[in-house]
Amino acid sequence: ASWVPPNHPRRESLLIRERLVDGFKEGYVATQGLIAHGRGECFDYLIGESSIPPALTAERVAVAALLIAKHPVISVNGNTAALVPRQVIELAKLVNAKLEVNLFYRTREREELIARVLRENGAEEVLGVGDDASCTIPELFSERRRVSCRGIYIADVVLVPLEDGDRTEALRRMGKIVIAIDLNPLSRTSRAASITIVDNVVRAIPNMIKFAEEMRGMPRDELIRIVRNFNNEENLRSVIMFIRDRLSELVSKGITLEFSKS
């Protein structure tokens, strides 16, 4: 990452890309993961690369859902391991969730590499590796349906940062509360999840850590109320209206950058 100029206007974004490229070179980020990140970046531009109000709302509700869950699980894929390894572990500890490796492009090698990254970052237990992934999600085919019998299979609440639409739908059909983090408010995942967080995973997880610290001491009734009062359809509408209003504002203010001779 040393080539990234310190004053580059998009330095942060370039450094995030570097982390994915490093993960790719180490063999645990899938090639398709790099493409998926680019799609995410596009939507991040549209929301202004910040945690917009409906995202913060969903993040808070998601933390409440994780805190009241009996068997909360955080699903980790290659991109998540590359971008927020320490943070997912910290969040898991705060809400008492299990960590499970769950890959769209599953290979034994990537699975084990991701588990190793998590352990190096302080995770004690990592589910879903090798023979541990011996339960199956109904209606999904091939390797994608294998999950841990102690993890996602029995989970009541699953946090899936960067999930695929198909799998989100299958988890919903199993009756689970699915929390998705996805920058695209129009993806199948976003539309199928119970709680959709339209935010970059690099902002969403740290925000959720803060909320978890604040909300851990809240009475259970209060947490249940927070989850009950949430309406995902309404929240996704707010996201889309936010983008619409932001684009309208940009149009009225002017798009082009001005240069004066110095």
Judged by beta carbon, residue 190 or residue 200, the one nearer Mg ion is 190
Binding string, 98-137, against ligand ATP, x = CB under 6 A?
----------------------------------------
Q: Which of 17, 116, 119, 188 binds ligand ATP (CB under 6 A)?
A: 188
Binding string, 133-172, against ligand ATP, x = CB under 6 A?
-----------------------------x-xx-------
Q: Within 10 Å of residue 228's Cβ, how many Cβ atoms?
A: 10
Distance of alpha carbon 158 from alpha carbon 171, whole angstroms = 9
Smallest gap, in angstroms, from Cβ of residue 33 to ligand ATP? 8
The number of C-alpha atoms within 13 Å of 243 and in the hemisphere containing its C-beta is 19
The answer to whether 130 and 112 are in contact (CB under 8 A) is yes
The answer to whether 175 and 70 are in contact (CB under 8 A) is no
Judged by beta carbon, residue 50 or residue 134, the one nearer ligand ATP is 50
Q: Is the dihedral of CA 244, 232, 87, 64 positive or negative?
A: positive
Smallest gap, in angstroms, from Cβ of residue 159 to ligand ATP? 13
> Under rule CB under 6 A, how many of the chain's residues touch ligand ATP?
17
Binding string, 26-65, against ligand ATP, x = CB under 6 A?
----------xx-xx--x----------------------
Residues that bind Mg ion (CB under 5 A): 164-165
Burial class (CB within 10 angstroms; exposed 0-12, middle 13-18, buried 19+) of 2: exposed
Name the residue among 220, 186, 178, 214 with its Cα closest to residue 58. Answer: 178
